[in-house]
Amino acid sequence: MPSLGETVAFLSNLRGQGAATAARGAPRHCRVTDDFGPNPGALRMLVHTPDIHPRRAPLVVVLHGCGQTAEAHAESAGWLALADRLGFVVLAPEQQTGNNFNRCFNWFEPGDTTRGHGEVASIAAMIGHAVRTHDLDAERVFVVGLSAGGAMAAALLATYPELFAGGAVIGGLPFASAQNLQGALSVMRSGVDDRAAERLVAAVRDAATGAPRPVRLSIWHGSADTVVNVANGAASAEQWRAAGSLGAASATRPSKGRSRRSWSDGVSTVELNLIQGMGHGTPLATKGPHGLGAAAPFMLEVGVSSTREIAAFWGLGADASAASEQPEHGLEPRPSEPVEPPAPLEVKPGGVGAQVLEALTPHVPKTVQDQIAKAFKAAGLS
């Protein structure tokens, strides 16, 4: 378990997450729905509908990362533009500062990741409302998230498997890998303890009642991620592979500075995409005739469009994967490497700002906050 000093050093790597994200105002491309049903997680519901979309269109749930707003994240990642092109609806739940000062989804709180409770229950209610209101196809609902949103996407897939035809986790973490803030910081920093593997598989299998639905899950991670240890990508893949009893054999396809490994039984499929040299964020290919999304903090131009590839993986439009890789704008190709679960990266601390204390505020008493603030000041970090 990390000490306070180690926690502060690690949190310094989160400094500025969302700092360049536009302040929340009236949405430009999404509509806010105030009354969508039970909202025990106290989340905000935003929906983007294309001007023209077919009856029984698919629904994609897009979950933002810490410090981001729902619309800005969905727009920068390219999901709104792709929805307009392919005719699906986007649901973008948004965290509130009253739940988490840094607007992170509380993926590490059992009260928010248990079926029928908290944030997962709110998002499930949003999905039901969106499907009914917009006459969408309940059999084609998908969820994707970045970082804390990716971890919450995994929680939704585990707790409400009957709602989803597929999912994607970008720079996220395994479901039930932490049960409190300190545990969350530990697994983000160092990855999941190998001894927890069986417990994590059981967590997925026990999270919901009824017959499990076949899983179609795409996992993405950067090999140089210093915010969420890259080992979490492999741990997530193993959690869902084992939960689905997919077997150890896999297909490997290394190319152009990235590699993909997949497990499938012909019905369920789990894939792990590693982008060599990429840090923490969503892989994008924004340039050229097929460019999608916009580079921003934690929206990374690497010449690979995870948004297009995920949509194609789910079967959303034959053109979704067209020109998804643009090496002239991306990472320099590197020699292919075996795609084994990567070793944890060493996390090097940097400077720390007021946002660190803000991130802790909802989770520690005032007296502890004061002690931390004094420690920052004494160290010249305030």
Query: Is residue 147 flagged as an active site residue?
Result: yes
- Three-state SS for 253-283 is EEECCEEEEEEECCCCEEEEEEECCCCCCEE
Q: How many CB atoms lie within 10 A of CB 329?
A: 16
Residue the block writes with tokens 């903090």: 297
Cα–Cα distance measured from residue 285 to residue 299, given in angstroms and rounded to the nearest whole number = 10
Burial of residue 374 (CB within 10 Å: 0-12, 13-18, 19+) is exposed
Q: Is the dihedral of CA 263, 217, 119, 18 positive or negative?
A: positive
Phi and psi torsions of 37, nearest 5°: 120, -160
Q: How far apart are CA 259 and CA 278, in angstroms?
A: 12
Sign of CA dihedral 168, 173, 174, 179: negative
Catalytic residue, from 12, 76, 122, 147: name it.
147
- Between CA 332 and CA 322 the distance in angstroms is 21
Q: Which residues are catalytic?
A: 147
